[in-house]
């Protein structure tokens, strides 16, 4: 693990859309956050039923399974961007429409266990990716969705985005 992983990204990097997720992660050790978050995710979703996983809690329009799928899709995209930037690829990357992604994936037809296992495998892979980056790669930048972002910022975006949705899921599931 390198000391570069302990450096928080510059405030406001990537504009308000990305900063709102970074701001949800005040911790400095982003790899530890990603690991702890995985454990929290597994604890929360490991014990729910298929019925609970297929539930849509008003005012939300997505089922719990769709939220799990969305978190996984978004993490894949954010990590892909981090990979490209860490390898010094300057090709600008487009944004994505998360609503269209959910509409075009039949997450409700996939078992809760499989969705959670997919997220777990993906997150474990990303933890290893970020652990193995050297300090120089951590600070490399690229353009995604017309915003300049560093690799480090994308690690915080991954954690902040998941934290945002996990908080909502905890509230939803607590209500029954």
Average pLDDT score over residue span 13-23: 91
User: What digits encode the pLDDT tens for the residues 53-109?
Assistant: 999 988 889 999 999 999 999 999 999 999 999 999 999 999 999 999 999 999 999
The Cβ of residue 117 has, within 10 Å, a number of other Cβ atoms equal to 12
Q: Is the pLDDT of residue 128 over 50?
A: yes
User: What's the token pair of residue 131?
Assistant: 């652990």
**Residue 176 pLDDT grade (very low, low, confident, very high; cuts 50, 70, 90):** low
In this structure, of 3-17, 44-58, 71-85, the range with the lowest mean pLDDT score is 3-17
CA angle 30, 126, 145 (to 5 degrees): 85
Give the pLDDT score at 174. 87
DSSP string, 36-90: HHHHHHHHHHHT--HHHHT---TT--S-HHHHHHHHHHHHHHHHHHHHHHHTT--
Q: Is the pLDDT of residue 32 over 90?
A: yes
Average pLDDT score over residue span 143-147: 95
CA 130/CA 126 separation, integer angstroms: 6
Q: Is 59 left (phi over 0), alpha (psi -120 to 50) or beta?
A: alpha
Return the SS3 of 93.
strand
**3-175: CATH, from 1.20.120.450, 3.40.50.1000, 1.20.210.10, 3.40.50.300:** 1.20.120.450
């Amino acid at each position: 693990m390198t000391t570069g992983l302990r450096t928080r990204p510059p405030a406001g990097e990537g504009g308000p859309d990305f900063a709102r997720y970074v701001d949800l992660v005040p911790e400095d050790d982003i790899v530890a956050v990603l690991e702890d978050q995985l454990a929290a995710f597994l604890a929360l979703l490991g014990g729910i039923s298929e019925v609970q996983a297929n539930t849509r809690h008003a005012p939300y329009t997505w089922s719990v399974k769709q939220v799990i799928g969305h978190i996984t899709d978004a993490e894949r995209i954010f990590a892909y961007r981090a990979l490209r930037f860490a390898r010094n690829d300057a090709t600008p990357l487009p944004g994505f429409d998360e609503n269209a992604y959910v509409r075009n994936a039949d997450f409700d037809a996939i078992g809760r266990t499989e969705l959670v296992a997919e997220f777990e495998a993906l997150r474990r892979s990303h933890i290893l990716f970020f652990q193995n980056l050297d300090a120089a790669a951590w600070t490399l930048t690229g353009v995604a969705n017309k915003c300049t972002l560093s690799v480090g910022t994308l690690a915080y975006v991954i954690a902040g985005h998941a934290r945002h949705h996990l908080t909502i899921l905890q509230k939803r599931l607590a209500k029954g």
